[in-house]
Amino acid sequence: MGEFRDQSDYYLLDPPHIDELISVLRGLGYSVIGPIVREGAIVYDEIESASQLPVGLRDRQRPGYYRLEERGDKAFFGFVVGPHSWKRFLYPPRFKLFTVSRKGEVTTHNVGGKKMAFIGVRGCELAAIQVLDKVLMGGPYVDPVYSTMRRDLFIVAVNCTEPGENCFCLSVGTGPEVGSGYDLSLTEVVGDGIHYFVAKVGSSAGKSLLERIGVRRATGDEVSEAAARMEKSRTLFRKSLDVTGLKDLLYRNLESPVYAEVAERCLACANCTLVCPTCFCTTVEEVTTLSGNVAERWRRWDSCFNADFSYIHGGPIRSSRLSRYRQWIAHKLATWIDQFGVMGCVGCGRCITWCPVGIDITEEAAKIRQRELEVSAT
Amino acid sequence: MARRPKIAVYKFASCDGCQLSILDLEEELLAIGEAFEIAYFLEASRAVVKGPYDIGLVEGSITTPHDAELIKEIRKSCKVLITIGACATAGGIQALRNWRGSAEFMKYVYPKPEYIETLDKSTPVSDHVQVDFELRGCPINKYQLLEVMSAYLAGRAPSIPNQSVCVECKLRGTACIMVAKGVPCLGPVTHAGCGAICPAYGRGCYGCYGPKESPNSKSLMKHFIELGKRREEAVMAFRLFNAWAPGFREVEAET
């Protein structure tokens, strides 16, 4: 529990402080984005006060299943992750890149200087943002949209004291505690008549925000209680991904019979990639008017599960669902490492929950491992 | 100014909704009139300019021997033939009769069914002649039609993605209603184009745009049954405007 070793770093926030935190950030010109309930799910959108948070709710998740229910307490962050991820704001689903006139005048569309503050970023999500940093800003070609949105980002991270049923961050090393890269992190302690947040400072901006709110340091007991909750959280995981030699396992088993079985169920609907917090593929499309005087270039999210994604002269390279699923899982868990030095999966479980037919990436990886063992045993 | 391409709009067995979508392009009608010569469009005007035509837009399915002959003539008089809507691209809701034959139905609908001359099946235009582009939907999305027309003028391929409706839900930020509410939804096997309207209002997708490319209807139907639908109900979910489209029509047999 290195996270809680140095007690001098911790501050104590009472529930009303969360609202203050949001208003101070708004006062500083941030557009504050946090979890809210909409149409039976917890999604991310701009918020103005803490009263909009999903207070007292938890999310029940199974493969292909998500429901909200009452927790019986007033927890502010008593749920895990929903159908949205922060990439929606850092890497918008549709974005107009430029307009060009018949005369050749080009107007580039910029993101504008909107400062964003994210409230409630989980360990897996923080890791996902860092994966996107590597992919979209780490090489010689820096994505202008992402890098602009990312620049002034303020992150209030939240430690998960209760993992969800589809969470497997513990096994991939991204949670349930948040890693580095936040401005403030919060551990919520709720129950038995107590409700407070132990805050840790992650940046000077985070520290100055707490100073503005005027909060006291947390006592040793309060920090210990938060640490105990996190210790317990680590024992509650039900799902895991065995990453031992995973990359080579997938490379050795490109013809695994597991792929044909998963293709029977896979809808190639692209949901898994679009809810994934690290999937970054886009396509561009040109739009012209009837008069032909103006053309626009738009960028929008795309997916390796769409046939046109691999379209070249003559047809798509990956025409079967089998080849598309294999491309996705092999990229996420293996080739991503060769490309970017990290795995593309952060263990958030979204692809499992939001797959309409509940295909589970941890199960499929385990099946591929199992099948190899069976074959080598015979 | 160069000669404006001549457009003809034809109707077969259909409800006229797709043709109305053209007229519903109110803001753009003047620009359309400037860019094209509307040469044959009986829903809009009795004035007819003689063919041949540059573009033929065809609404409706082929249901009579007369239709089957006429569509061949139309194909000859149009350089580019584009079918619009579920009837023309898949046979329409009237293709439900394809499972039963028409004799029984005619007995209930018409006082003198012997006057009716009809084909045994309602079929898409592409079963009869070469079609250059199929625009899906019941009805079509008028902005997609505008895109097809703009693309024609610019000499480029139209941007009409053949991916799932799920992609459109995700782009607009709708949480999946099948996962979050257990509502059976055809979105994962249905061709995009509508902008995922129904799920945004809590209704499962009806499949108005027909099957997406490589749809896995069998797997989705199995899931409908897991969600509590009876097998017959699950089959009926596919038996709507695009019932006869390959990808949807096999569900009964193969499950």
* pLDDT tens digit sequence for A137-160: 999 999 999 999 999 999 999 999
Which residues make Cβ contacts (< 8 Å) with residue B104, sequence separation at least 6? none
Kindly state whether residues A59 and A205 are assigned to the same domain.
yes
Return the number of other C-beta atoms located less than 10 Å from residue B157's C-beta.
11
Kindly state whether residues B191 and B149 are assigned to the same domain.
no
A233, A256, A278: which is the final residue of a domain? A233
pLDDT tens for each residue of A195-249: 999 999 999 999 999 999 999 999 999 999 999 999 999 999 999 999 999 999 9
For residue B4, the chain A residues in CB contact (below 8 A) are none
A207, A233, A259: which is the final residue of a domain? A233
Note down the domain range covering A359.
246-377
Q: What is the mean pLDDT of residues A267-296?
A: 94
Structure confidence at residue A3 as a pLDDT band (50, 70, 90): low
Higher pLDDT, B98 or A378: B98
Kindly state whether residues A87 and A27 are assigned to the same domain.
yes
Token code pair at residue A133: 């940093």
Kindly state whether residues B146 and B179 are assigned to the same domain.
no
Kindly state whether residues B149 and B222 are assigned to the same domain.
no
Structure confidence at residue A70 as a pLDDT band (50, 70, 90): very high
Contact of B33 with chain A, judged by CB distance below 8 Å, is answered with no
Measured between alpha carbons, how far is A370 from A366 in angstroms, rounded to an integer?
A: 6
Domain count, chain B: 2
Token code pair at residue A187: 């551990």
Would residue A141 count as lying in a domain? yes
Domain count, chain A: 2
Task: Report DSSP state, residue B83.
Answer: E
Measured between alpha carbons, how far is B225 from B237 in angstroms, rounded to an integer?
A: 11
Would residue B1 count as lying in a domain? no
Q: Chain A: residue nearest B161 by CA? A: A308
Contact of B147 with chain A, judged by CB distance below 8 Å, is answered with yes
Is residue A5 predicted with pLDDT exceeding 90? no
Structure confidence at residue A1 as a pLDDT band (50, 70, 90): very low
- To the nearest whole Å, the CA of B253 is away from the closest chain A CA by 16
Give CA angle at A282 (A281, A283), nearest 5°.
140
Kindly state whether residues A72 and A185 are assigned to the same domain.
yes
Would residue B194 count as lying in a domain? yes
Residue of B164, B169, B179 to mutate when probing chain A, most A C-beta within 10 A: B179
Which residues make Cβ contacts (< 8 Å) with residue B150, sequence separation at least 6? A287, A288, A289, A290, A292, B158
Task: Report DSSP state, residue B112.
Answer: -
Q: What is the mean pLDDT of residues A349-378?
A: 95
Task: Report DSSP state, residue B98.
Answer: G
Among the partner residues B156, B175, B220, nearest to A267 by beta-carbon distance: B220
Kindly state whether residues A305 and A195 are assigned to the same domain.
no
Among the partner residues A307, A319, A356, nearest to B223 by beta-carbon distance: A356
Kindly state whether residues A263 and A288 are assigned to the same domain.
yes
Note down the domain range covering B28.
6-154
Would residue A240 count as lying in a domain? no
pLDDT tens, N- to C-terminus, chain B (255 residues): 578 999 999 999 999 999 999 999 999 999 999 999 999 999 999 999 998 999 999 999 999 999 999 999 999 999 999 999 999 999 999 999 999 888 888 888 899 999 999 999 999 999 999 999 999 999 999 999 999 999 999 999 999 999 999 999 999 999 999 999 999 999 999 999 999 999 999 999 999 999 999 999 999 999 999 999 999 999 999 999 999 999 999 998 554
- To the nearest whole Å, the CA of B117 is away from the closest chain A CA by 41
Kindly state whether residues B119 and B147 are assigned to the same domain.
yes
Kindly state whether residues B118 and B232 are assigned to the same domain.
no
b vs e for A238-277, b when ≥16 Cβ sit within 10 Å of the residue's Cβ? ebebebeebbebbeebeebebbeebbebbbbbbbbbbbbb
- What Rg value do the Cα atoms of chain B yield, rounded? 19
Would residue A238 count as lying in a domain? no
Note the pLDDT of residue B253. Answer: 57
Three-state SS string across chain A, please?
Answer: CHHHCCHHHEEEECHHHHHHHHHHHHHCCEEEEEEEEECCEEEEEECCCHHHCCCCEEEEEECCEEEEEECCCCCCCCCCCCCCCCHHHHCCCEEEEEEEECCCCEEECCCCCCEEEEEEECHHHHHHHHHHHHHHHCCCCCCHHHHHHHHCCEEEEECCCCCCCCCCHHHHCCCCCCCCCCCEEEEEEEECCEEEEEEEECCHHHHHHHHHHCCCECCHHHHHHHHHHHHHHCCCCCCCCCCCCHHHHHHHCCCCCHHHHHHHHCCCCCHHHHHCCCCCCEEEEEEECCCCCEEEEEEEECCCCCHHHHEECCEECCCCHHHHHHHHHHHHHHHHHHHHCCCCCCCCCHHHHCCCCCCCHHHHHHHHHHHHHHHHHC
- Amino acid letter for position A365: A
Would residue A1 count as lying in a domain? no
Among the partner residues B150, B162, B174, nearest to A307 by beta-carbon distance: B162
Note the pLDDT of residue B1. Answer: 53
Residue of B29, B150, B160, B170 to mutate when probing chain A, most A C-beta within 10 A: B170
CA distances from A103 to A107, A288, B2, B238 (A): 12, 14, 19, 49
Q: Given an 8 Å threshold on Cβ–Cβ distance, is B181 in contact with A40? A: yes
- To the nearest whole Å, the CA of B44 is away from the closest chain A CA by 20
Q: Report the run of H or E that residue B144 belongs to, with start and end.
A: helix B142-154
Would residue B58 count as lying in a domain? yes
Note the pLDDT of residue A378. Answer: 73
Contact of A282 with chain B, judged by CB distance below 8 Å, is answered with no
Q: Chain B: residue nearest A357 by CA? A: B223
Q: Say whether the peptide bond before residue A163 is cis (omega within 30 degrees of 0).
A: no
Pick the closest to residue A172 from A209, A106, A139, A128 (CA basis). Answer: A128
Pick the closest to residue B134 from B146, B125, B142 (CA basis). Answer: B125
Chain-wide mean pLDDT for chain A? 95
Among the partner residues B172, B179, B219, nearest to A353 by beta-carbon distance: B179
Note the pLDDT of residue B96. Answer: 94
Kindly state whether residues A191 and A111 are assigned to the same domain.
yes
Note the pLDDT of residue B255. Answer: 46
**Do A290 and A98 form a contact (C-beta atoms < 8 A)?**
no
Note the pLDDT of residue A376. Answer: 83
pLDDT tens for each residue of A318-347: 999 999 999 999 999 999 999 999 999 999
A233, A261, A279: which is the final residue of a domain? A233
Contact of A325 with chain B, judged by CB distance below 8 Å, is answered with no
Q: Chain A: residue nearest B153 by CA? A: A290
- To the nearest whole Å, the CA of B180 is away from the closest chain A CA by 5
Contact of B163 with chain A, judged by CB distance below 8 Å, is answered with yes
Q: Chain B: residue nearest A37 by CA? A: B175
Q: Chain B: residue nearest A38 by CA? A: B175
Q: What is the ipTM of this complex?
A: 0.94
B154, B187, B213: which is the final residue of a domain? B154
Token code pair at residue B229: 């639908």
Q: Chain B: residue nearest A45 by CA? A: B173
Residue of A261, A267, A275, A279 to mutate when probing chain B, most B C-beta within 10 A: A267
Note the pLDDT of residue A9. Answer: 82
Note the pLDDT of residue A4. Answer: 62
Interface of B with A in 174-233 (CB under 8 A): 174-182, 185, 187-189, 202, 212-216, 219-220, 222-223
